[in-house]
Amino acid sequence: MTAREGARSIQELLIDRADCDKPWLVLPSDPVHGADAARVTYAETYRESLRWATALLGHGGRPREAVGLVFDNGPGFCFAFFGALLAGMVPVPLPPPFLGGRREEYVARTRPVLAGARAGIVVVDAPYEGLAESLPDASCRVLGRGVLEQTGASAAGAAPHRGGPEEAAFLRYTSGSAASPRGARLSHAGVLSSARGTGLALHGHEDQTALCWVPLFHELGLTGALVYTMYWGMSLVLMSPIDFMADPASWLWAMSRFGVDGCAAPNFAYALCASRKKVPDRALEGLDLGRWDVAVNAAETIQAPTLEAFEARFAPYGFRREAWVPCYGVAETAGACSVSEHRAAPRVDHVDGKALEAESAARPVARSAEGALAVVGVGAPIAEHEIRVVDARGAALGDRSVGEIHARGPSVMSGYHDAPEASGRVLGADGWLATGDLGYRVDGDLFVVGRIKDVIKKAGATYEAADIQSVVSRVSGARAGRAAVFGVLDATSGTEQIVVVCETAVFGERGLADLHRAVVHAIWRALEVRPDVVRFVRADALPTGPDGAVTHAAARRLYLAGELPLRAL
């Protein structure tokens, strides 16, 4: 079952395993209390996916046309994703509506994505079939999962589309603003190169078992788990992110009960499990993490205190420091483009914080030195890939000089879908991708220290400062366009806090308290995320650039230095 090297596309991975009875998906029912689980083999996945492909084409789907997928984690997403590929279509995985969220805001966020992708069909999971009444427009139809399952009953004799290496494997819409989303076009060759390079770095093989609770529309879920395990012929224990958030211990118990070798998660998830408030000791009695060999930490800033806290708490249960694998990738690459050395303790560099900020230099200092910052290394480039750090003119920098991180290799997107100007701003003619992240290198390893672009990465999700600022501008009492939005690392939660500082003419404790509630509510309604800190300043107190617009990065520096004239709440 090692046909991966000959595969030219994602669907060929599945076609080559059409007769394989090995379980691919393992679906726990309640991992906290037992090891009961349903299983779906590679062969069953192929047959079901081909049925879905037949149904998609029968409902008017066209080859090379984009198809939106709105699914929870589960076999349905897998059948829809592979079914779209076997039909010759281009999947566009989308986040499902948040539990308790407002449908109007979800529709307002999702329609621009579907329009940008030119999707003709959106397939929705059973709980979301009500979207058929509100999501579609004149050019897009919504099909419920039940409709496809009923009409795809016969796939006998159907000829699957095998795809080609340069065809689009899928479109990933996690970049750009809500009003102007950008879909990264990722090729089959790039996705397979990412899976191969990551597996080579991690000594992947078909006898391993992986686990995923991260949403499958997320890069850690789709390429980091679904495609990765399909490529290497592994079994995949698949859980719901809702179950994880409701009970973080369920993740650890699934690792224990199903003998899982590897799992990828954002930094905040490890911090959550390290907290005894979230996971009490009594919830861990009998836990065994001794087989956990690959603990990938990615998708947001990796914090050294989180690694230390998780190690300290779970070493008695068998977790080993050498299991950590900090990685780095961006939305514009199929998966990780740098991976830390397998079975080696994570590399933590202690540098002078003042020199890092003022001189763009990563000067090493003692861990106990005043102002020392701990920066976790994210490893070296995977096979077939390159990483460099450049200055503002694009010249390559030497070790310990901070600049923008550039990446090049097969997994880099070919461009943003139908957006040549946006593509040209980040992709050079020589194939280098400007990531918008800041970092430095030491002896071949990459260290990420910040961002040029105004985005916040919270709990593995990415939020544009411009989107939050736009929402705040519509709140009565907040000055339009006069809000600074930025992220601040929080060691307790293990992720970035969203900080909003807006100008206002409102005075008084009661008036500011009302405005505070209005800002928090507006951001939650529009983007389904709550800001961690909302503060107010007088008119014209925020720093601006030459164009008169608020500069988020400068406001962040003043905020951290305690130099913004914040009004008391």
* DSSP character string of 234-291: -EEEE--HHHHHH-THHHHHHHHHTT--EEEE-HHHHHHHH-TTTS-GGGGTT---TT
SS (H, E, C) 140-187: EEEEEHHHHHHHCCCCCCCCCCCCCCCCEEEEEEEEECCCCEEEEEEE
Mean confidence (pLDDT) of the chain: 93
**Which 8-state DSSP code applies to residue 412?**
B
State the pLDDT at residue 180. 79
CA distances from 104 to 99, 101, 213 (A): 13, 9, 27
As a whole number, mean pLDDT of residues 209-229 equals 97
Give the pLDDT band of residue 174 (cuts 50, 70, 90). confident
pTM here? 0.94
Nearest CA-CA partner of 354 in 369, 337, 342: 369
Query: Could you report the per-residue pLDDT of 79-107, keeping only the tens digit for each?
Result: 999 999 999 999 999 999 875 567 888 88
Of residues 275 and 133, the one with the higher pLDDT is: 275
State the pLDDT at residue 176. 63
Does 136 score more than 80 pLDDT? no
By mean pLDDT, which of 176-190, 284-298, 465-479 is the weakest?
176-190
Q: Using DSSP, state whether 451 is helix, strand or coil.
A: strand
SS (H, E, C) 490-509: ECCCCEEEEEEEEEECCCCH
Nearest CA-CA partner of 523 in 486, 544, 498, 545: 498
SS3 content of the chain, % helix, strand, coil (to 5): 35, 30, 40
* Parallel/antiparallel/unpaired status of strands 478-490 and 495-504: antiparallel
Query: Could you report the per-residue pLDDT of 449-476, keeping only the tens digit for each?
Result: 999 989 999 999 999 999 999 999 999 9
What span, in angstroms and rounded, lies between the C-alpha atoms of 295 and 365? 28
What span, in angstroms and rounded, lies between the C-alpha atoms of 69 and 81? 8
**Which 8-state DSSP code applies to residue 33?**
T
Structural contact between residues 129 and 104, judged by C-beta atoms closer than 8 angstroms = no
Percentage of the chain beyond pLDDT 70 is 96
What span, in angstroms and rounded, lies between the C-alpha atoms of 409 and 329? 12
Burial 215-245, CB ≥16 within 10 A → b, else e: bbbbbbbbbbbbbbbbbbbbbbbbbbbebbb
What span, in angstroms and rounded, lies between the C-alpha atoms of 408 and 37? 41
Instruction: Indicate the burial class of 456 (C-beta count within 10 angstroms; 0-12, 13-18, 19 or more).
Output: buried
Give the pLDDT band of residue 2 (cuts 50, 70, 90). low
Nearest CA-CA partner of 373 in 352, 401, 400, 355: 352
Does 138 score more than 70 pLDDT? no
State the pLDDT at residue 1. 46
Of residues 149 and 243, the one with the higher pLDDT is: 243
What span, in angstroms and rounded, lies between the C-alpha atoms of 211 and 198? 16
By mean pLDDT, which of 230-244, 259-273, 535-549 is the weakest?
535-549
By mean pLDDT, which of 115-129, 139-153, 200-214 is the weakest?
139-153
**Which 8-state DSSP code applies to residue 334?**
S
Query: Could you report the per-residue pLDDT of 490-525, keeping only the tens digit for each?
Result: 999 999 999 999 999 998 889 999 999 999 999 998
State the pLDDT at residue 4. 72
Residue 309: what are its φ and ψ, rounded to 5°? -65, -40
Give the pLDDT band of residue 154 (cuts 50, 70, 90). low
State the pLDDT at residue 101. 60
262 φ/ψ sector (left φ>0, alpha ψ -120 to 50, else beta): beta
Which residue in this structure is represented by tokens 């139908």? 418
As a whole number, mean pLDDT of residues 43-52 equals 96
CA distances from 269 to 214, 299, 507 (A): 10, 11, 39
